[in-house]
Chain A
């Protein structure tokens, strides 16, 4: 990057950031990108599930029962990723009072709660045959359950306020505070003796899983990220229309889409 191009690139980034903050611009942008997100979600999920359920070999210890990781682990990663995203957007909303950041934070919460719920249910279904117990109060399971309660707390607090934006700020604050739970969930298997296994897939250092099992897992992780994008853009569009119902741009859309407009 040379000295001439970097200010223009920066300017374009700043411009993009401000354009994104504008509800009509974001509404149109999200509408354009949603079909691509869902198409990519379905394609990667099909590849990942075929790779995981058909192509991948059975595990030396757990046989075919391990195949639930192709759902369980991507959902568990997403439960943390979505929370971090929610807390990050919440912070931008709290400090800069960007309307769109508040909306993205609040609309991410139900999606993250769903990922956490799926993680807990699939973990339970896996735990019974392998460990011999549906549930145990070890550090990983307990901290993941606390994560679900945090999500539910954020959703509940948001809806407890008459004024949407006030509710969003209060809930974003709770989300921000609850973020201390994220490293606890991640490191729980390191800090304490747990029944839950340790880390298999590592960003730094070798992963303890063979490639025929790893690539479907990573493909499913990509798929769940794309799903979050698709779901979040759709939810944010609806929330924007609700919040800005009286504004000209929202009226124009309503008139254009009305059947007898």
Chain B
């Protein structure tokens, strides 16, 4: 390779390496802080104690949804499989909000209850027709695999 070109290649490579290293350090440093949400286990372990407002993420526990008949208020429980946290919300819920669905709620702790000001539904990365989902749910039930009846929201 021509020495001038070689010098340019090394120069560009070194700069790129330095930037990649710096970005890597930033990403690594932010790893602890940049988490978009906390799970109920993390909240109960006091990891969210530094924040007045934070995001709580998890699955809506089956059978935990209680709607107030006179207002838009709804109570439900968010679980991460290990621990659960009661959530209270007043407002319009997204289409995908249902039992066994992953949700991300923004709000603050008041006593032992998480009072949410926003509820977002997270959908899974799985795409399939309804018939297949039902067939799979049936097959899982037959083999005693624990799975929600709608086969919904498995992350």
Using a CB–CB distance below 8 Å, which chain A residues touch chain B? 57-62, 65-66, 69, 91, 94-96, 129-133, 136, 138-139, 173, 176-177, 179-180, 184, 191-195, 197-200, 208-210, 212-213
Contacts and interface: CB of A to CB of B under 8 A. Distances in A.
A177 B23 CA distance: 11
28 contacts: A57-B129, A57-B131, A60-B128, A60-B130, A61-B96, A69-B127, A95-B8, A95-B9, A95-B12, A96-B5, A131-B121, A131-B123, A132-B119, A136-B120, A176-B12, A176-B16, A177-B19, A184-B23, A184-B27, A192-B34, A192-B36, A193-B37, A193-B57, A195-B104, A195-B122, A199-B125, A200-B126, A208-B125
A61 B27 contact: no
A20 to B, nearest CB: 18
A61 B95 CA distance: 10
A57 B131 CA distance: 10
Contact of A59 (B15, B34, B94, B129): B129
B4 to A, nearest CB: 9
Contacts of B133: 60
Contacts of B19: 177, 180
Contacts of B23: 180, 184
Contacts of B8: 94-95
Interface in B47-88: 57
Interface of B: 5, 8-9, 12, 15-16, 19-20, 23, 27, 31, 34-37, 57, 93-97, 104, 118-134, 150-153, 155
Contacts of B127: 59, 66, 69, 200, 208-210, 213
A192 B126 contact: no
Q: Max chain A CB contacts within 10 Å: which of B37, B96, B123?
A: B123
Given A59-B129, A179-B16, 10 more contacts: A95-B9, A130-B95, A131-B123, A132-B97, A139-B34, A139-B36, A176-B16, A198-B125, A198-B155, A200-B125
B93 A192 contact: no
Contacts of A132: 93-94, 97, 118-121
A62 B123 contact: yes
Contact of A193 (B36, B123, B129, B130): B36
Contacts of B94: 129-132
B69 to A, nearest CB: 22
Top 4 closest pairs, chain A to chain B, by CB: A132-B94, A57-B129, A60-B133, A209-B127
Contacts of A180: 16, 19-20, 23
A220 to B, nearest CB: 14
A215 B6 CA distance: 44
Nearest to B10: A95
A39 B41 CA distance: 55
Contacts of A61: 96, 123-124, 152-153
A180 B130 CA distance: 40
A218 B139 CA distance: 29
Nearest to A212: B129
A129 B36 contact: no
Contacts of A209: 126-128
Contacts of A139: 34, 36
A62 B27 contact: no
Nearest to A57: B129
B125 A197 contact: yes
A57 B152 CA distance: 17
A91 B11 CA distance: 11
B34 A173 contact: no
A193 B35 contact: yes
B152 A60 contact: yes
Contacts of B125: 197-200, 208
Contact of A210 (B27, B128, B153): B128
B120 A60 contact: no
